[in-house]
């Protein structure tokens, strides 16, 4: 019985961490409209931007992660042919940087990355300007479902 205690503890810890990640993502990004940014050879990534917390969630697609064009090449890094998992972090970071640039926040810097799954990573960012008050009209990229160049901050 004791020899099963450690594996059961580890498994329950992993299960709880997965639930915690899902709960955090649901709570943090529930009201955010996904926006699409394209990098590389037209590889779209969904971005959920929580401007109040200065965090954004980059979401990929499982099929793209396996069969996407130039998937083994991070932007300009010469990583052609590498395993997609080896370039995932740089691709997701490039998507986050591109998103900030395209939403007129070139001065913002990307900080730490939190990997939730192979398809979801969160990036903290900081900007010199203050956080926009709720309801402020800000530039938005086209998303899946809803369109429009300006949406209110949520």
Weakest-pLDDT range from 51-60, 74-83, 138-147: 74-83
Count of domains for the chain: 1
Interval 127-153 mean pLDDT? 66
Q: What is the pLDDT of residues 57-109, one digit of tens each?
A: 999 988 777 766 655 544 455 555 566 677 888 889 999 999 999 988 999 99
Weakest-pLDDT range from 46-60, 94-108, 112-126, 140-154: 140-154
The single residue listed with the structure tokens 């080896």 is 86
Rounded to the nearest integer, the mean pLDDT of the chain is: 75
Q: In the 8-state DSSP scheme, what is residue 32?
A: P
In a domain, 79, yes or no: yes
In a domain, 104, yes or no: yes
In a domain, 128, yes or no: yes
Structural Rg of the chain based on CA atoms: 18
Q: Which two tokens stand for residue 22?
A: 């899902």
Q: Which two tokens stand for residue 98?
A: 């591109």
In a domain, 2, yes or no: no
pTM assigned to the model: 0.71
Higher-confidence position of 76 and 40: 40
In the chain, pLDDT over 70 holds for what percent of residues? Answer: 66
Range of the domain at 44: 33-152
The single residue listed with the structure tokens 């955090």 is 24
Phi and psi at residue 34, to the nearest 5°: -70, 140
Alpha carbon separation from 5 to 9, 11, 17, 18, 106 (Å, rounded)? 6, 10, 18, 20, 51
For position 56, what pLDDT does the model report? 95
In a domain, 145, yes or no: yes
For position 150, what pLDDT does the model report? 44
Nearest CA among 103, 107, 121, 106 for reference residue 55 = 121
In a domain, 141, yes or no: yes
pLDDT at 2 over 90: no
The DSSP secondary structure of 103-115, one letter per residue, reads: TT-TT-EEEEEEE
Nearest CA among 56, 35, 55 for reference residue 46 = 35
The single residue listed with the structure tokens 């050879």 is 41
In a domain, 107, yes or no: yes
For position 41, what pLDDT does the model report? 75
Q: Which two tokens stand for residue 114?
A: 């939190």
In a domain, 57, yes or no: yes
């Amino acid at each position: 019985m004791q020899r099963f205690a450690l594996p059961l503890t580890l498994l329950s810890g992993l299960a709880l961490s997965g639930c915690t990640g899902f709960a955090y993502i649901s709570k943090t990004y529930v009201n955010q409209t996904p926006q699409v940014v394209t990098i590389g050879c037209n590889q779209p990534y969904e971005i959920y931007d929580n401007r109040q917390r200065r965090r954004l969630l980059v979401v990929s697609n499982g099929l793209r992660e396996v069969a996407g064009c130039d998937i083994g090449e991070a932007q300009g890094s010469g990583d052609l042919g590498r395993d997609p998992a080896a370039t995932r972090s740089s691709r997701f970071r490039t998507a986050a940087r591109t998103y900030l640039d395209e939403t007129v926040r070139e001065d913002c810097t990307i900080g730490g990355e939190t990997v939730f799954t192979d398809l979801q990573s969160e990036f903290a960012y900081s900007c010199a300007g203050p956080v926009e008050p709720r309801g402020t009209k800000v530039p938005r990229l086209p998303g899946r479902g809803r369109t429009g160049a300006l949406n209110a901050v949520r």
